[in-house]
Amino acid sequence: MPEGTVNQGIGASVRRKEDKRFLIGKGNYTDDINRAGQLHVYFLRSPVAFADIVSIDKQKAEKASGVAAILTGEDVAADGLGGPICGWAPTNKDGSAPSEPPHPILANGRVRYVGDHVAAVFAETLEQAMSAAELIDVTYSEMPAITDLKSAMDSPQIHDGMENNTYFDWELGDEAATNDAFDKAATIVNVDIRNNRVIPNAMEPRAAVADYDTGDGRYTLFTTSQNPQLTRLVIGAFMLNIPESKFRVVAPDVGGGFGSKIYVYPEEAVCVWASKKLGRAVKWTADRTQAFLGDAHGRDHISAVKLALDKNNRITGLRVDTLANLGAYLSAFAMVTPTYLHGTLLSGVYDIPAIYTNVKGICTNTVNVDAYRGAGRPEATYLLERTMDVAAKQVGMDPAEFRRLNFIPKDAFPYQTAVALQYDVGDYEPLLDRAMAMIDYKNFEKRRAASAKNGKCRGIGISTYIEACGIAPSAVVGALGGRVGLYESAVVRVDPTGTISVLTGTHSHGQGHDTTFAQLVCDKLGVDIEAVEIVHGDSDRTAFGMGTYGSRSLAVGGTAISKALDKVIAKGKIIAAHMLEAADADIEFKDGKFTVTGTDREKSFGEIALSAYVPHNFPHDRLEPGLEETSFYDPLNFTYPSGTHIAEVEIDPATGVVELVDWVCCDDFGNLINPMVVEGQVHGGIAQGVGQALYEEAAYNDNGQLLSASYMDYCMPRADHFPSMKVENLVTACTHNDLGVKGCGEAGAIASPPAVINAVVDALSPLGVTDITMPATPQKVWQAIQSAQTKAAE
Amino acid sequence: MYSTKYVKAKDIDDAATIMASAEDGKFLAGGMTLIPTLKQRLANPDCLVDLSACGLSAIDDDDNAIRIGAMTRHVDVAESALVQKAIPAVADLAGHIGDRQVRNCGTIGGSLANNDPAACYPAALLALGGTVHTQNRSITAEDYFDGMFETTLEEGEIIREVSLPKPEKAAYVKFPNPASRYAMVGVFVAKFADGVRVAVTGAGEDGVFRASNLEAALDANFSADAIADGTVSADGLMSDIHASAEYRAHLIGEMTRRAVTACG
Report how far residue A471's alpha carbon sits from residue A637's, in angstroms, rounded to the nearest whole number. 8
Report how far residue A695's alpha carbon sits from residue A775's, in angstroms, rounded to the nearest whole number. 5
Residue-level pLDDT at A146: 98
Tell me if A714 and B3 make a contact (CB, 8 A cut-off). Answer: no
Report how far residue B253's alpha carbon sits from residue B229's, in angstroms, rounded to the nearest whole number. 7
Residue-level pLDDT at A31: 98
Report how far residue A520's alpha carbon sits from residue A513's, in angstroms, rounded to the nearest whole number. 10
The percent of residues above 70 in pLDDT, for chain A, comes to: 99
Residue-level pLDDT at A3: 62
**Span A281-338, pLDDT tens digits:** 999 999 999 999 999 999 999 999 999 999 999 999 999 999 999 999 999 999 999 9
DSSP state of A262: T
Mean pLDDT of the residues in chain B: 97
Task: Give the one of A127, A655, A713 whose C-beta lies nearest to B251's C-beta.
Answer: A655
- Confidence label for A345 from pLDDT (cuts 50, 70 and 90): very high
Residues in chain A within 8 Å Cβ distance of B175: 655
Residues in chain A within 8 Å Cβ distance of B41: 130
Residue A552 near residue A488 (C-beta atoms within 8 A): yes
Residue-level pLDDT at A785: 98
**Span B162-197, pLDDT tens digits:** 999 999 999 999 999 999 999 999 999 999 999 999
Tell me if B180 and A711 make a contact (CB, 8 A cut-off). Answer: yes
Report how far residue A588's alpha carbon sits from residue B146's, in angstroms, rounded to the nearest whole number. 86
**Span A747-785, pLDDT tens digits:** 999 999 999 999 999 999 999 999 999 999 999 999 999
| Cβ neighbours of A142 (radius 10 Å) | 13
Task: Give the one of A130, A712, A783 whose C-beta lies nearest to B179's C-beta.
Answer: A712
- Among chain B residues, the shortest Cα distance to A698 is held by B241
Tell me if A655 and B179 make a contact (CB, 8 A cut-off). Answer: no
Tell me if B247 and A782 make a contact (CB, 8 A cut-off). Answer: yes
Question: Over 60: is that where the pLDDT of A1 sits?
Answer: no
Residues in chain A within 8 Å Cβ distance of B244: 779, 783
What mean pLDDT is predicted for residues A183-207? 98
B84 Rama class: left (phi>0) / alpha (psi -120 to 50) / beta: alpha
| CA distance to partner chain B, nearest, from residue A374 (Å) | 24
Q: Chains A, B: CB contacts under 8 A, how many?
A: 42
**Span A72-103, pLDDT tens digits:** 999 999 999 999 999 999 999 999 999 999 99
Counting every residue written for chain B, the total comes to 264
Tell me if B179 and A130 make a contact (CB, 8 A cut-off). Answer: no
- Among B180, B229, B256, the residue to mutate for chain A (most A Cβ within 10 A): B180
Return the percent helix, strand and coil in chain A, to nearest 5: 30, 25, 45
Tell me if B241 and A127 make a contact (CB, 8 A cut-off). Answer: no
**Span A135-173, pLDDT tens digits:** 999 999 999 999 999 999 999 999 999 999 999 999 999
Tell me if A777 and B247 make a contact (CB, 8 A cut-off). Answer: no
CA distances from A475 to A172, A479, A483, A489 (A): 19, 6, 10, 17
| CA distance to partner chain A, nearest, from residue B40 (Å) | 10
Report how far residue A331's alpha carbon sits from residue A325's, in angstroms, rounded to the nearest whole number. 12
Residue-level pLDDT at A6: 78
- Among chain A residues, the shortest Cα distance to B228 is held by A654
Residues in chain B within 8 Å Cβ distance of A696: none
Please list, in sequence order, all residues whose beta carbon lies within 8 angstroms of the beta carbon of residue A471, skipping any fewer than 6 positions away: A477, A486, A549, A550, A551, A552, A556, A635, A638
- Among chain B residues, the shortest Cα distance to A655 is held by B251
- Among B184, B241, B252, B257, the residue to mutate for chain A (most A Cβ within 10 A): B241
Please list, in sequence order, all residues whose beta carbon lies within 8 angstroms of the beta carbon of residue A95, skipping any fewer than 6 positions away: none
Tell me if A131 and B243 make a contact (CB, 8 A cut-off). Answer: no
Residues in chain A within 8 Å Cβ distance of B251: 655
Measured at the alpha carbon of residue A610, what is the angle toward residues A605 and A614, in degrees to the nearest 5? 150
What mean pLDDT is predicted for residues A552-563? 98
Residue-level pLDDT at B202: 97
Q: Which of A163, A155, A141 is nearest to A55 (CA)?
A: A141
Q: Which of A628, A631, A629, A627 is nearest to A505 (CA)?
A: A631
Question: Over 70: is that where the pLDDT of A5 sits?
Answer: no
The percent of residues above 70 in pLDDT, for chain B, comes to: 100
Provide the 3-class DSSP secondary structure of residue A647: strand
Residues in chain A within 8 Å Cβ distance of B250: 782
Please list, in sequence order, all residues whose beta carbon lies within 8 angstroms of the beta carbon of residue A276, skipping any fewer than 6 positions away: A212, A219
Classify strands A301-309 and A315-325 as parallel, antiparallel or unpaired. Answer: antiparallel
Report how far residue A37's alpha carbon sits from residue A34's, in angstroms, rounded to the nearest whole number. 9
Alpha helices in A580-630 (DSSP H): 605-613
Tell me if A713 and B242 make a contact (CB, 8 A cut-off). Answer: yes
| Cβ neighbours of B43 (radius 10 Å) | 14
- Confidence label for A679 from pLDDT (cuts 50, 70 and 90): very high
Q: Largest Cα–Cα distance in chain B? A: 57
What mean pLDDT is predicted for residues A525-537? 97
Provide the 3-class DSSP secondary structure of residue A516: helix
Question: Over 60: is that where the pLDDT of A123 sits?
Answer: yes
- Confidence label for A426 from pLDDT (cuts 50, 70 and 90): confident
Residues in chain B within 8 Å Cβ distance of A131: 2
Residue-level pLDDT at B229: 87
Residues in chain A within 8 Å Cβ distance of B242: 713, 777, 779
Question: Over 90: is that where the pLDDT of B230 sits?
Answer: no
| CA distance to partner chain B, nearest, from residue A248 (Å) | 34
Residues of A with CB under 8 A from a CB of B: 127, 130-131, 289, 654-656, 695, 697, 699, 707-708, 711-716, 777-779, 782-783
Mean pLDDT of the residues in chain A: 97
- Among A779, A781, A786, the residue to mutate for chain B (most B Cβ within 10 A): A779
Residue-level pLDDT at A55: 98
What mean pLDDT is predicted for residues B222-249? 95
